A and B are shown apart, each in its own frame.
Chain A
Amino acid sequence: MTFIDQLHSFLGDVAAQFGLPEMPLIVTKLVWWLVASVLLFTVALTIGGLFTWVFRRLFAFFGLRKGPNRVGPEGMLQFLADGIKLLTKEDLLPSKADKWTYRLAPYVVVVPFVLAWAPLPWSDVIIFSNLAYGVVFILAVSALPPLGELMAAWGSNNKYSMYGGIRAAALDFSYEIPLVISAASIVLLVGGLDTQGAVMAQQGYWFGFIPKWFVFPQIIGAFIFFVSLLAKTGIIPTDLGESESELISGLTTEYSGMRFGFFFVAMFSGIFFLSALTVTFFFGGWTGPGFLPPLVWFLLKTFGLVFLVFWIWVTLPRFRVDQFLNYAWKTLFPLSILNLVIAVALKVWGVY
């Protein structure tokens, strides 16, 4: 009996108590899908918002400052105040902008990042949608935001935006291929395309104490995945689309109000999501010793990685475009092929 059936019979019981007729199954399904997707968006955007606060606090501590600490406990509700401010700001449209692409672009950026959360396993039972082809879904959907970035760049009718968009698109090509190949190595080791299976395959220990995480046999893949993560979220060593000191604000130069807020939230929810994905693929997901529940393990590992990402963000300078493209095409790409070969060898020798 699936969850939907249970829910359907439960709702039927409730309806019977009030003397209402039983609803068809499809209504239950629709209600559940609606609730689940609202929940997914709420979780994703709240985490995205909350992480703006986490980032600003950490950034302040790195820079020997205090950071936002007034709104709510320790300034935790700062993102709500900022969100309200952004919502009440004027939604400016540049006079010669391409209206449709300009207005649509923030949604094209933010929606894929949220959608891709669906097959992410939070614990052994918490998963929004345990798709049988979850890895493919995640990779396909999370590759969409650069399209939105290009739309934003073109629609803004601004030279800086255009440079930012072209850079973001060029960057996208360079990191997406190593990213997919290193994910393919994981798929090969797991022998399946679902994310929950990838976590299950990492349960247990070698020699009784080394966890069977894929990061050990796939260290190169984990590195490539992490670098691609940095590039995909567009944070500082690779924030070529934004490049604040060069292109003013890159592709978001012309955006104001909540449309800008969407880019911002997409970035932070993307950081959390991609860290979570790295944890799922390489650091055992929600697995861990039994004294903590799986969800806590998952969040702990993810926060650890997010902390590392923020640390890199506030410390390193920015690559030049050609330097990163060179690096991605001439170093990451061959390395990812090598990593795939290692995965095949491990599979052939029967390690996995």
Chain B
Amino acid sequence: MQEQVKVAARGTTWTLEGEGRERFMDLNMGPQHPSTHGVLRLKLHLNGEVVERCEPVLGYLHRAKEKIAEKGQWIKFMPITDRMDYIAGIYNNWGYARAMEELHEIEVPERAEYLRVVSGELQRLASHYLFLGTFGLDLGMITPFFYSFGDREKVLGLIEELTGARLTITYFRFGGVKWDAPEGWFDRVESTVDELEAHHKEMWDLLVENDILNMRLRGVGVMTEEEAVSLGCTGPVLRATGKEYDIRKDDPYGVYPRMRFDVPTETTGDCYGRFMVRIREMKESFKIIRQALREMPDGPIIAKGFDGSKIIRTKPPNKESYGRVETPKGELGFWLVSDNSMKPYRVKARGHSFSNLHCLPLLVEGSTIADTVVSLASLDIVLGDIDR
């Protein structure tokens, strides 16, 4: 029997449903909430503090990006991609550029590929720093937020020197990159990476060996490898379950086959695993940046025929292509359909955060509100990518 109980401070509208002692309450967490990382709304069906059902509601940031793509020339979609995952804009450029390069069979010069790797890994660091800061904040740790944002600031400073922008970068072009590195930039990257690595150790001590943090994270939001694969999770969310899946290794692009780095995995599949994968990945990024700086060749930075204003008249052949890259948050793919005109026939983006968010109900149902916040934070979603 469904009993409706009015709990009331003066005609209030909370309605509890349920039988006997089981009383449920619906709580709309978001779109305005400090820890939903943007305008995500979670419909929580609560029994006390225990989450019985959780339903993410999307669409508060929808900007019809894929439709916008069809309205302009191919290259004009490049700045729009920056606004998708705005934490790691370079990877959106990269995904789109890779798809286009496969579609049009463009040969990318070597120096451009190395510049892409360096700027990309810097962007990965920036994204993971943001994750560490906000993850700590969601757990109630205030100071790591300032530490990691201080470090992120240094990375963004380097990216700004290279590209002229900090967040919406639009650095990549079909067949290369827009700017060559300014004078002395490689040395500054090298010294900054040394500095960041020292700080990274400090963050590690502060976060990883903290007892309360371990209590809060271990065994929370557990997911098995099969579940993660079947739900389409990628990136650190998938690697935390023990599956070693990294597009940089499994479907290599650019000069990644030459880079020597490990793919960190954890076997626990809980929030701690996801957190550890990211914080260990940062060490690999330091390695990759160092190696790329050592091997940086000279040469052109953009393919012949795609430099200057010629790029706007790009007419890819009449076919389809799918290009994907490993972003800090997972797999980002672009599916392009061309009808041999100057405008795309169709652009479809396969977002990492959108796919990763699907596992949230699985992670949080049966846990408490506090664990919901931690599980959500450990997925490291960005709403710009979910809604597009």
- Interface residues, chain A, with chain B CB atoms under 8 Å away: 59, 62-65, 96-98, 101, 154-155, 157, 159, 163, 236-237, 239, 243-248, 313-323
A-B contact pairs, 15 of them (CB 8 A): A59-B143, A62-B143, A63-B143, A64-B150, A98-B9, A98-B10, A101-B9, A236-B142, A243-B370, A248-B33, A316-B140, A317-B136, A317-B213, A317-B216, A321-B370
A319 touching B215 in the complex, CB below 8 Å, given contacts A98-B9, A236-B140: yes
Q: Is the CB of A314 within 8 A of B142?
A: yes
Contact of B140 among A64, A248, A318, A321 (CB under 8 A): A318
Contact of A316 among B34, B141, B373 (CB under 8 A): B141
Q: Is the CB of A317 within 8 A of B212?
A: yes
CA distance A64 to B143 in the complex (A): 9
Give chain A residues whose Cβ lies under 8 Å from the Cβ of B216.
Answer: 317-320, 323
Minimum Cβ distance to chain A for residue B136 (Å):
7
B368 at the interface (CB under 8 A from A): yes
Give chain A residues whose Cβ lies under 8 Å from the Cβ of B35.
Answer: 245-246
Minimum Cβ distance to chain A for residue B330 (Å):
23
Residue of A nearest to B145 (CB): A63
Residue of B nearest to A240 (CB): B370
A322 touching B368 in the complex, CB below 8 Å, given contacts A98-B9, A245-B35: yes
B230 at the interface (CB under 8 A from A): no
Given contacts A317-B140, A317-B141, 6 further A-B contacts (CB under 8 A): A63-B143, A245-B34, A245-B138, A313-B142, A317-B216, A321-B49
CA distance A316 to B141 in the complex (A): 6
Q: Is the CB of A63 within 8 A of B9?
A: no
Contact of B139 among A97, A98, A245, A322 (CB under 8 A): A245
Minimum Cβ distance to chain B for residue A321 (Å):
7
Q: Is the CB of A246 within 8 A of B142?
A: no
A96 touching B146 in the complex, CB below 8 Å, given contacts A163-B49, A246-B35: no
Q: Is the CB of B369 within 8 A of A317?
A: no
Contact of B9 among A59, A62, A154, A244 (CB under 8 A): A154
The SS class assigned to the A binding surface is helix
B357 at the interface (CB under 8 A from A): no
Most buried by A among B34, B212, B213: B212
Within 8 A of A (CB), among B125-162: 136-143, 145-147, 150
Q: Is the CB of A237 within 8 A of B143?
A: no
Minimum Cβ distance to chain A for residue B158 (Å):
19
Contact of A155 among B9, B34, B137, B371 (CB under 8 A): B9
CA distance A138 to B159 in the complex (A): 57
B204 at the interface (CB under 8 A from A): no
CA distance A320 to B143 in the complex (A): 19
Give chain B residues whose Cβ lies under 8 Å from the Cβ of A63.
Answer: 142-143, 145-147
Minimum Cβ distance to chain B for residue A242 (Å):
10
Q: Is the CB of B143 within 8 A of A157?
A: no
Q: Is the CB of B373 within 8 A of A245?
A: yes
Q: Is the CB of A323 within 8 A of B141?
A: no
Residue of B nearest to A316 (CB): B212
Give chain A residues whose Cβ lies under 8 Å from the Cβ of B9.
Answer: 96-98, 101, 154-155, 157
Give chain A residues whose Cβ lies under 8 Å from the Cβ of B370.
Answer: 243, 246, 318, 320-321
Give chain B residues whose Cβ lies under 8 Å from the Cβ of A314.
Answer: 142-143
Minimum Cβ distance to chain A for residue B128 (Å):
18
Give chain B residues whose Cβ lies under 8 Å from the Cβ of A64.
Answer: 146-147, 150
CA distance A313 to B10 in the complex (A): 37
Fill in one digit per residue for B8-25: 1 if any A CB lies within 8 Å of its CB, else 0: 011111100000000001
* 9 cross-chain pairs, A with B, having the tightest CB-CB distances, nearest first: A318-B140, A63-B146, A317-B139, A245-B35, A98-B9, A245-B138, A317-B141, A317-B140, A320-B370
B210 at the interface (CB under 8 A from A): yes
CA distance A243 to B215 in the complex (A): 17
Residue of B nearest to A313 (CB): B142
B27 at the interface (CB under 8 A from A): yes
Within 8 A of A (CB), among B1-45: 9-14, 25, 27, 33-35
CA distance A314 to B369 in the complex (A): 22
CA distance A64 to B203 in the complex (A): 14
Q: Is the CB of A163 within 8 A of B212?
A: no
CA distance A173 to B32 in the complex (A): 32
CA distance A320 to B150 in the complex (A): 28
Residue of A nearest to B220 (CB): A320
A245 touching B140 in the complex, CB below 8 Å, given contacts A64-B147, A157-B12: yes
CA distance A74 to B9 in the complex (A): 46
Q: Is the CB of B212 within 8 A of A319?
A: yes
Give chain B residues whose Cβ lies under 8 Å from the Cβ of A316.
Answer: 140-141, 210, 212
A163 touching B369 in the complex, CB below 8 Å, given contacts A96-B12, A317-B216: yes
Minimum Cβ distance to chain A for residue B50 (Å):
10
Minimum Cβ distance to chain A for residue B130 (Å):
15
Residue of B nearest to A160 (CB): B27
Residue of B nearest to A65 (CB): B146
Most buried by A among B139, B140, B371: B140
Minimum Cβ distance to chain B for residue A155 (Å):
7
CA distance A163 to B11 in the complex (A): 19
Contact of A159 among B14, B140, B206, B368 (CB under 8 A): B14
A246 touching B369 in the complex, CB below 8 Å, given contacts A157-B12, A316-B212, A321-B49: yes
Q: Is the CB of B368 within 8 A of A239?
A: no
Give chain A residues whose Cβ lies under 8 Å from the Cβ of B27.
Answer: 159
Q: Is the CB of A248 within 8 A of B147?
A: no
Give chain B residues whose Cβ lies under 8 Å from the Cβ of A154.
Answer: 9
Give chain A residues whose Cβ lies under 8 Å from the Cβ of B142.
Answer: 59, 63, 236, 313-314
CA distance A275 to B207 in the complex (A): 27
Minimum Cβ distance to chain B for residue A11 (Å):
50
